[in-house]
A and B are shown apart, each in its own frame.
Chain A
Amino acid sequence: MELEYKNKKTRRDFFKAAGIFTGGVLFATLLKPYKSLAYKLHEGETSNVWYGIGIDIEKCIGCGRCANACKNENDVPREPFYFRNWVEQYTIKNDGEVIVESPNGGIDGFTQSIPDEDIYKSFFVPKLCNHCYKSPCEQVCPVGATYRSPEGIILVDEEYCIGCRYCVQACPYGCRFIHPKKKVASKCTYCYHRVKKGLNPACMDACPTGARIFGNLRDKSGPLAEFLKEHNCHVLKPHLNTGSKLYYNGLNMEVK
């Protein structure tokens, strides 16, 4: 009886084989992330460039040229629901009601539908990616297709993004969308292709009033650092602690 059982393959053999197989797969899986870990160690933490944008709300006239320039420069679909950069018009009525509008992201300009005598105040707020230092979109990307460049710019690897849309959900500012043709996440890159050549982002050059200040936060004598020194600036949704690098001067509490 015993002999008969001895000849048969035992559970132990099976577990051995299964163990070797699983271990091998696990080991192979573990290697790749370590590669990126090693890369992260050498990542430009010592980089002396750390980009951000300041916006002087009082200077914004709502012409929408920034939004238009962005669409031209970055091949953003023309439809009125894909924007890397848009302008919002806030109208606060005497009775306290807040009306926000952004027809076609402000590209075609704005009209005021509220009669003058009912308006308490009105202003424009340009919006774009906050390039957060502790960015929720980068945190939630399951494959690491969203990453931060050494200059502090949040970018998407289009060849790598699986299109799960988790980052779109995680962005508190509504700055991401899924590109209808490429089926991957798309967002403001600060015109990385231009910045790398020493040019300004397209929206900066398009702004006729100088309401946008693009610059290196680590250059303490640079324009952005100067702007932040001279003005009391705020970021959007500070309670979310995203480490936003989009600073607004004269930000009203109604702006979310």
Chain B
Amino acid sequence: MIQEHQHLYEALSKVDGYIFPNEIELNWSILIVLYPYITGLVAGAFILASLERVFNVKALKPIYVISLLTALAFMLTATMPLISHLGHPGRFYELMITPHFSSAMAIFGFVYLWYLMVVLLLELWFDYRKDIVIWSKEKKGLLKYFYKALTLGVTDISPEAVKWDEKLGYIVTVIGIPSAFLLHGYVGFIFGSVKANPWWSSVSMPVIFLFSAMVSGIALVMFVYFAINYFRKKVVDMLCLDTIAKYLFYILIIDFTLEALDQIHRIYEAEESFEIISMLVSGKLIFTLGIMQVLLGTIVPLLALGLFQLYKPKDIVRKWTYFIVSILVLIGIFFMRWNVVIGGQLFSKSFYGFTSFKLSLIGQEGLLMAIVWIIVPFLILWALLLLFPPWKKVEVED
């Protein structure tokens, strides 16, 4: 029995001050860090794509379809960390068939399905329909049947029909923007609505989650765009990159302002939980919050991107800076999720002490498992890019 609870006995020896006995175990571990991280990437990538389509930002054309495919690849993985962390993963369907509507979590399945089926898949389908019909005729063997199935029996590619695809796709994108906001704002609400936890309970949580989602999604698309061009041995479109960077800069400013505001508000109001939270921030979270999230993940990218708004060095310098910035931002937002999810569980609800968290390497909630869930969406994206190469799409006149 002792063997089974070894890690908890170990944690018991590392408690500072007093915590409620049941608080030794961190209930949400790295998989629940990944869950808002991945859904955020989806929402962010989608919003970037819709900039091109709805707001007609022409410079973003090269990444429009890439953003959508990236969003889809991550969306397909989004539920996996969530389901695999359940005590009874086999019962997850209860969420869908008997949802308890007063729970913020109960609606996740519906928000997810709405976003996946109605927004992402539909938009991509309208976007690719003509190509799929053409490929279903050109390709041989199994692939032929694969594309044929994807036409869903709609093989009409007359100019009028394609025009309608465009129109309907546009409508879906317009619906998609508030849906993306809903998806991630809602994920923020899951945490923000827990009144028992003063580190989470904040009305600004959904908005902060939303903007950090956009930041991470934009950085991800930037990274993916670099990777695709590297593997295809193509030159990146600098105008496109500069435009992405500009949006990343502005949204990063909003995100940083909102988070700073939230913290300033906490510090100034200094409620009952203030002492324990300030100890948390200046102690257990100093590395993940101070260094990783704020310094490397926010301030350095802000300075670099801000500088480029005023002064434009050579393409090669900008290119490499963008590449590094995209990685820094991705890491920074990962640690933002970490600080919310893990940070919120490190202090006791008695406000008298701290527990500790040790990430194990193996096991269902281990580091390796988390790495798997980060790699899987990239593999899916790779497969999607092979099956639906954006560079082989037939150009449709606007």
A residues in contact (CB < 8 Å) with B: 5, 8-11, 13-14, 29, 32-33, 36, 77-83, 86, 88, 98-102, 105, 127, 136, 138-144, 160-166, 168-178, 180, 182-184, 240, 256
Contacts and interface: CB of A to CB of B under 8 A. Distances in A.
Given A142-B103, A144-B100, A169-B197, A81 B21 contact: yes
A193 B24 CA distance: 29
B91 A177 contact: no
A82 B20 contact: no
B1 A161 contact: no
Contact of B21 (A32, A83, A139, A184): A83
Given A80-B12, A101-B18, A143 B195 contact: no
A173 B98 CA distance: 27
Contacts of A79: 1, 5, 8-9
Contact of B348 (A11, A36, A162, A174): A174
Given A142-B95, A142-B100, A143-B100, A168 B27 contact: yes
B87 A178 contact: yes
A178 B27 contact: yes
Contacts of A165: 27-28, 87
B154 A9 contact: yes
A165 B341 CA distance: 13
A76 B91 CA distance: 24
B196 A240 contact: yes
B154 A14 contact: yes
B144 interface: no
B86 A164 contact: yes
Contact of A10 (B24, B87, B156): B156
Contacts of A11: 154, 156, 161, 164
Contacts of B99: 33, 142-143
16 contacts: A8-B155, A14-B154, A78-B1, A88-B18, A100-B350, A100-B353, A105-B21, A136-B195, A139-B102, A140-B105, A140-B193, A165-B28, A169-B196, A174-B19, A178-B87, A183-B88
Contact of B106 (A142, A169, A172, A175): A142
B22 A256 contact: no
A130 to B, nearest CB: 12
B152 interface: yes
Given A32-B97, A144-B98, A164-B105, A174 B20 contact: yes
Contacts of A80: 12, 21
B100 to A, nearest CB: 4
B9 to A, nearest CB: 8
Contacts of A140: 102-105, 193-194
A140 B100 CA distance: 8
Q: Which of A5, A79, A138 has the most CB of B within 10 A?
A: A79
A166 B21 contact: no
Nearest to B104: A140
Contacts of B92: 162
Contacts of A170: 194-196
A138 to B, nearest CB: 8
B21 A86 contact: yes
A5 B156 CA distance: 6
Contacts of A88: 18
Interface of B: 1, 4-5, 8-9, 12, 17-25, 27-28, 85-88, 91-92, 94-106, 108, 152-156, 158, 161, 164, 190, 193-197, 345, 348-353
Question: Which 6 residue pairs spanning A and B have beta carbons closest together?
Answer: A163-B87, A174-B20, A183-B87, A172-B196, A144-B100, A100-B18
A8 B156 contact: yes
B98 A36 contact: yes
A102 B348 CA distance: 14
Nearest to A147: B100
B385 to A, nearest CB: 26
Nearest to B95: A142
Contacts of A174: 19-23, 348-350
Nearest to A186: B22
B10 to A, nearest CB: 11
A57 to B, nearest CB: 16
Contacts of A81: 5, 8, 12, 21-22, 24-25
A139 B154 CA distance: 45
A162 B88 contact: yes
Given A174-B20, A180-B4, 4 more contacts: A5-B161, A143-B94, A164-B87, A169-B197
Contacts of B23: 174
Nearest to A139: B102
Contacts of A33: 98-99, 101
Nearest to A78: B1
Nearest to A11: B154
A143 B106 contact: yes
Nearest to B156: A8
A136 B152 CA distance: 45
Contacts of A136: 194-196
B351 A256 contact: yes
Contacts of B102: 138-140
Contacts of A127: 20
B100 A176 contact: no
Contacts of A8: 154-156
Contact of B100 (A10, A141, A168, A171): A141
